[in-house]
């Protein structure tokens, strides 16, 4: 009996048994939004099993096709396979990251090996690779257009880069490595969430919170009451909880306590400790790289990026690191001087000096910003109400690209905090769906991100299947007395993730593996960071920064203060970020994990880069989700790489004298629409007409005149 027939019967049986499974039936709403509201825990594993079986059947149909391999029956068929699985994954993994729990984690541990096995079963399928290679070898004689040629090339590279050319024994070992890495990644992320949720610090006396804004105290009081401690204040390692303490609270011991709680997560030699996970992940990544003939994981990973190799990345990082470190040292000296003057005013008869520490930086930087620029972030927050800021981001997209955003009610969502927007062109034609989920909760991982729930592609009949995109964040949740008021950093984050969303929404690719954000990692941050440039432009601020109580538009003097302070503390910001990028590269340039001591390695890395002790690296290894969970290994540099691109791209608008110059916006939209259908470097050159100039970034940060 043919294998394809067996798989087909199996898939049909599973589907028949799960006719009521909302993950396996077409969504009932007109926009194709999954039935989040109907999905229950027991639906996930049967849905994954059915979807995996269906894709296996689709792959088997390609392999067993008696016709000669063609672009349509092999390359396109492969790209179109797995659509049911993508739908199931789009629901499960988004809910896992944004609203997970122990039961979801347990399901993830069950399905991770199955997904690794499926992926390896496709990418290491010799008969399938033969067909792909046959098309690839004759690609120049098939009359393919540029997008089709890109799909053929990227498909072949995906097989070759993931082991299709390896001998059989190495293929088997690669399968084992991939399965174990998948489980380790889940374990790492779960440990960080568990550590974050496990730590609670209760303050019993209000006097200990002197200097903390009333809004932050109200939020902490509500958290404490919900935790069964009425009359107290609860603080956690979530940024929305501890950041106001670092910025405003006079209690130095409390600042230290909370910063150390945040920066030592999963580093306590307990059940949630990630050091052993890191060592094992690095050992496997090194072994995997060597299977492909690379000395280290960095060069294996970077081969398909714009940078190409670790030497290019290291040189790039150093070119920005040195000026940022010089700026950070000047900033540290200014803060130390402020501390000295403050101590002298309090006790003029002592010569003892209190040295600036990491838990002092934010506090004294905020005081210095007030003194130097008369800018108090608490004075700004009333103008940055979440819904208004989001409207501001929508307004920028409308002015640049003509997009319109309509809130939809009564749509299926996985949590009541999620909101749904229909996105259309100026002429009313449909673009896609944007969902937003902005508030922290116990089951949500830290940070902010954009995901595809449903990808965009154009099928053989010319039907454009439009995407469903979600932006997720961890902003302040409204309290009984206040709406959600954002910090300046939060405002930039919202604009950043919305930039990713636009990249997905505007996609016009024919093939889903090339659509939207399926680009090199050191290019994918360009659209997001480009949007940040608009957040504090005076012309834009006046469209969204309204006082939440009075409705007053932000006054010109506050806008002037924001812009005057725009280069303030950039040494700290850039050094904190770049040190994490360099630490990432140091890990992934390792050629062996033997004898690796994670904490000692971090310390050695900081010493090598001459990191000043007043600053802690943005992500210490044991909670560095970017490189040990979310796929940014040897890739965190891409935020700075893309910053050079985004500063240069924004300069293109500035040079016209119009932030929304129609012709420039049209060219940038074209770049967004292409997704991964074109070479990233070629796309940027086409938009700008020249190479990106790093001087725009250095000037924006105030490192050069």
Nearest-angstrom CA–CA distance, 393 and 390: 5
End-to-end CA distance of the chain: 74
Residue 586 CB coordination number (10 Å) = 18
546 contacts 388 by C-beta, under 8 angstroms: yes
Question: Where do runs of H (alpha helix) occur along 64-167?
Answer: 77-80, 83-99, 102-123, 126-137, 146-161
Nearest-angstrom CA–CA distance, 140 and 117: 33
495 contacts 531 by C-beta, under 8 angstroms: yes
Q: What is the 3-state secondary structure (H, E, C) of 502-556?
A: HHHHCCCCCCHHHCCCCCCHHHHHHHHHHHHCCCCCHHHHHHHCECCCCCCECCH
Nearest-angstrom CA–CA distance, 237 and 220: 12
Within a 13 Å sphere around the CA of 160, how many CA atoms are in the beta-carbon half?
A: 12
Distances (CA, A) of 668 to 208, 321, 640, 657: 51, 29, 20, 16
Vertex 44 angle, CA 43 and 49, to 5°: 105
The pairing of strands 468-472 and 430-437 is: parallel
Of 519, 518, 470, nearest in space to 90 by CA:
470
Nearest-angstrom CA–CA distance, 666 and 47: 42
What DSSP character marks residue 296? S
Beta bridge partners, 201, equal 235
604 contacts 360 by C-beta, under 8 angstroms: no
Vertex 369 angle, CA 340 and 610, to 5°: 65
266: region left, alpha or beta (phi > 0 left; psi from -120 to 50 alpha): left
Burial string for 215-239 (b: 16+ CB within 10 Å, else e) reads: bbbebbbbbbeeeebeebbbbbbbb
Vertex 231 angle, CA 228 and 232, to 5°: 75
**Backbone φ and ψ of 689, nearest 5°:** 80, 5
**Backbone φ and ψ of 166, nearest 5°:** -75, 150
| Active-site annotation holder among 54, 257, 331, 497 | 497
667 contacts 687 by C-beta, under 8 angstroms: yes
If DSSP codes are grouped into helix, strand and coil, which group holds residue 471?
Answer: strand
- Tokens found for residue 630: 């979310």
Nearest-angstrom CA–CA distance, 693 and 704: 13
Nearest-angstrom CA–CA distance, 446 and 526: 22
User: Which residues, 6+ apart, have CB-to-CB distance to 504 below 8 Å?
Assistant: 432, 450, 452, 455, 456, 467, 469, 515, 516, 517
DSSP codes of every residue in 181-233: HHHHHHHHHHHHHHHHHH--EEE--GGGGTT--HHHHHHHHHHHHHTT-TTSE
Beta bridge partners, 408, equal 420
- Tokens found for residue 475: 């902003």
User: Which residues, 6+ apart, have CB-to-CB distance to 412 below 8 Å?
Assistant: 27, 29, 33, 34, 35, 36, 37, 38
Q: Is 610 a catalytic residue?
A: no
Q: Which positions are catalytic? A: 497
């Amino acid at each position: 009996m043919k294998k394809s027939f067996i798989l087909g019967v199996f898939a049909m049986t599973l589907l028949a048994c799960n006719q009521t499974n909302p993950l396996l039936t077409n969504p009932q709403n007109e926009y194709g939004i999954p039935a989040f509201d109907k999905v229950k825990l027991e639906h996930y594993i049967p849905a994954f099993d059915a979807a995996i079986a269906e894709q296996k059947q689709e792959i088997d149909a390609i392999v067993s096709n008696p016709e000669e391999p063609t672009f349509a029956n092999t390359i396109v068929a492969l790209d179109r396979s797995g659509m049911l699985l993508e739908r199931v994954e789009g629901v499960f993994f988004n809910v896992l990251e944004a609203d997970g729990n122990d039961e979801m984690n347990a399901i993830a541990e069950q399905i991770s090996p199955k997904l690794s096995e499926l992926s390896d079963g496709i990418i290491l399928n010799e008969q399938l690779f033969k067909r792909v290679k046959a098309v690839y070898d004759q690609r120049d004689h098939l009359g393919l257009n540029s997008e089709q040629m890109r799909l053929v090339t990227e498909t072949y590279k995906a097989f070759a880069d993931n082991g299709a050319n390896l001998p059989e024994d190495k293929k088997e070992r690669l399968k084992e490595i991939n399965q174990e890495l998948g489980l380790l990644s889940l374990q790492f992320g779960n440990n960080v969430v568990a550590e974050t949720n496990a730590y609670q610090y209760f303050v019993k006396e209000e006097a200990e919170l002197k200097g903390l804004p009333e809004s932050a105290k109200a939020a902490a009081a509500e958290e404490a009451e919900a935790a069964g401690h009425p009359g107290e204040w609860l603080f956690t390692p979530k940024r929305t909880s501890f950041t106001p303490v670092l910025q405003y609270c006079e209690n130095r011991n409390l600042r230290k306590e909370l910063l150390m709680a945040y920066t030592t997560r999963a580093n306590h030699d307990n059940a949630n400790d990630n050091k052993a996970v890191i060592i094992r992940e690095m050992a496997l990544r090194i072994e995997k790289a060597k299977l492909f003939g690379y000395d280290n994981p960095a060069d294996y990973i970077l081969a398909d990026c714009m940078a190409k190799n670790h030497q290019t990345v290291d040189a790039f990082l150093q070119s920005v690191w040195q000026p940022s470190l010089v700026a950070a040292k000047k900033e540290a000296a200014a803060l130390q001087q402020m501390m000295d003057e403050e101590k002298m005013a309090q006790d003029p008869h002592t010569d003892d000096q209190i040295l600036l520490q990491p838990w002092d930086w934010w506090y004294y930087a905020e005081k210095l910003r007030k003194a130097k620029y008369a800018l108090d972030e608490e004075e700004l927050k009333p103008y940055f109400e979440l819904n208004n800021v989001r409207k501001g981001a929508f307004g920028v997209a409308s002015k640049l690209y003509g997009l319109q955003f309509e809130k939809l009610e009564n749509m299926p969502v996985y949590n009541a905090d999620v909101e749904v927007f229909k996105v259309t062109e100026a002429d009313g034609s449909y673009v896609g769906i944007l969902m937003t989920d902005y508030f922290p909760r116990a089951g949500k991982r830290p940070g902010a991100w954009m995901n595809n729930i449903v990808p965009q592609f154009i099928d053989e009949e010319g039907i454009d299947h439009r995407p469903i995109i979600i932006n997720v964040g961890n902003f302040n949740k409204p309290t009984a007395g206040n709406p959600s008021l954002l910090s300046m950093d939060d405002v930039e984050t919202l604009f950043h993730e919305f930039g990713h969303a636009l990249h997905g929404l505007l996609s016009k690719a024919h093939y889903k593996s090339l659509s939207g954000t399926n680009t090199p990692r050191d290019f994918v941050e360009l659209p997001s960071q480009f949007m940040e440039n608009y957040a504090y432009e005076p012309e834009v601020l006046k469209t969204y920064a309204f006082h939440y109580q009075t409705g007053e538009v932000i006054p010109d003097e506050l806008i002037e203060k924001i812009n005057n302070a725009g280069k303030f503390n950039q040494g700290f910001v850039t050094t904190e970020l770049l040190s994490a990028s360099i630490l990432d590269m140091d890990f992934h340039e390792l050629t062996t994990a033997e004898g690796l001591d994670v904490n000692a390695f971090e310390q050695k890395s900081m010493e090598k880069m001459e990191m000043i002790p007043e600053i802690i690296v943005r992500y210490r290894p044991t909670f560095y989700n970017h490189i040990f969970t979310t796929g940014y290994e040897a890739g965190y540099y891409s935020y700075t790489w893309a910053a050079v691109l985004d500063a240069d791209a924004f300069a293109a608008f500035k040079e016209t004298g119009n932030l929304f110059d129609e012709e420039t916006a049209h060219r940038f939209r074209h770049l967004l629409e292409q997704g991964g259908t074109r070479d990233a470097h070629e796309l940027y050159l086409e938009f700008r007409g020249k190479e990106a100039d790093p001087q725009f970034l250095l000037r924006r940060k105030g490192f050069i005149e």
